[in-house]
Amino acid sequence: MRRALILVALLAGCSSKDDASATTRATGRADEGRVLELFVGTASKPPTEAAAAAFEQRTGAKLELHFGGSGKMLSDMKLAERGDVYFPGSSDYMEKAKAEGLVVPGTETRIVYLIPAINVQRGNPHHIRGLEDLAQTGLRVGIARPDTVCVGLYGVELLERAKLADKVKPNIVTNAESCEKTAQLISLGSVDAVLGWEVFEHWDPEHIETVYLPKDQVTRIGYVPAAVGAKAREPALAKEFIAFLASDEGKAIFKKWHYLTSEADARVYTTASTPVGGVYELPASWQQ
């Protein structure tokens, strides 16, 4: 009798496990309970949040998203000695991550492309048409911190290349700590213009308008890369998420937010010879 009861219990246990496995296969949520930690630059915050939610729904995994300036996110990941995915706002910080051995180089994937531009208040009340106009007397200009935020670095590069740094610098009244906070400077009316990304307009179309630069003034096409962290706790799941971002489904989420998902899309705003990505060294005069 006792042996019969044990056999029934064992069969019941196997049946329960089989049923659970069948349910997991049916729902596709094979990663239920697993946690993926990401350190993300805010240049891609709105669509990244949407993509993370879609991935969670599909897999059952939980995504912990840390957002901030790309430089700060790199420092935080280094100090924490963990991080499954590093997702900065530009190639500049990904190159630093690779140089410091903080990511697995072979896993780097380009997700979307960004074009530096001027962002102004909707209606462009100060009639800003180009970089030269940022030197207007009394104009309030904002940029992101160029030593820790990718879009700030691009802003400095634009001004230095156009030889307008000395003229515009006196009008710079604030340095924001992330791409998100840079866009908010316009949304809140704290400044008259920022050197930002063209996509900022689509974050808050009611308050932000983009002034595109002449093609020959765009110094570089930016791109947003993602890579698996060198000390990832879930490297396989991290690769899966990056693949999802680069998939047609992932790109559709970014397109919904008007991000440029191919180099060809970005070339519309630049010359044929404008470089893609790369690294720009911040001049000493801009160091904080």
* Domains with residue ranges and CATH for the chain: 32-113+222-267 (3.40.190.10), 115-220 (3.40.190.10)
What average pLDDT does the chain have?
91
Contact call for residues 200 and 186 (beta carbons, < 8 A): yes
Query: Confidence class of residue 28 from pLDDT cuts 50, 70 and 90?
Result: low
CA distances from 9 to 2, 6, 12, 208, 239 (A): 11, 5, 5, 65, 39
DSSP 178-237: SHHHHHHHHHTTS-SEEEEETTHHHHSTTTEEEEPPPGGG---BEEEEEEEBTT-SSHHH
Q: Which residue has the higher pLDDT, 32 or 6?
A: 32
What DSSP state is assigned to residue 262?
S
- 154 pLDDT more than 80: yes
- 4 pLDDT more than 50: no
Within 13 A of 107's CA, how many CA atoms are on the CB side? 26
Query: Confidence class of residue 32 from pLDDT cuts 50, 70 and 90?
Result: confident
Which pLDDT belongs to residue 36? 98
As a whole number, mean pLDDT of residues 257-283 equals 97
Q: For residue range 66-116, what is the model confidence (pLDDT) as tens digits?
A: 999 999 999 999 999 999 999 999 999 999 999 999 999 999 999 999 999
Would you say how long the chain is, in residues?
288
SS3 label, residue 281: coil
- 15 pLDDT more than 50: no
DSSP 83-149: -SEEE-SSHHHHHHHHHTT-B-GGG-EEEEEE-EEEEEETT-TT---SGGGGG-TT--EEEE-TTT-
Q: For residue range 207-222, what is the model confidence (pLDDT) as tens digits?
A: 999 999 999 999 999 9
Q: For residue range 157-169, what is the model confidence (pLDDT) as tens digits?
A: 999 999 999 999 9
Which pLDDT belongs to residue 33? 85
- 232 pLDDT more than 70: yes
Q: For residue range 191-203, what is the model confidence (pLDDT) as tens digits?
A: 999 999 999 999 9
Q: For the chain, what percent of residues have pLDDT higher than 90? A: 88
- 1 pLDDT more than 70: no
Residue entry with tokens 């919904």: 256
- H helices within 28-149, ranges in order? 45-59, 70-80, 91-99
- 8 pLDDT more than 50: no
What's the token pair of residue 232?
């990832």
Which pLDDT belongs to residue 27? 43
Contact call for residues 248 and 125 (beta carbons, < 8 A): no
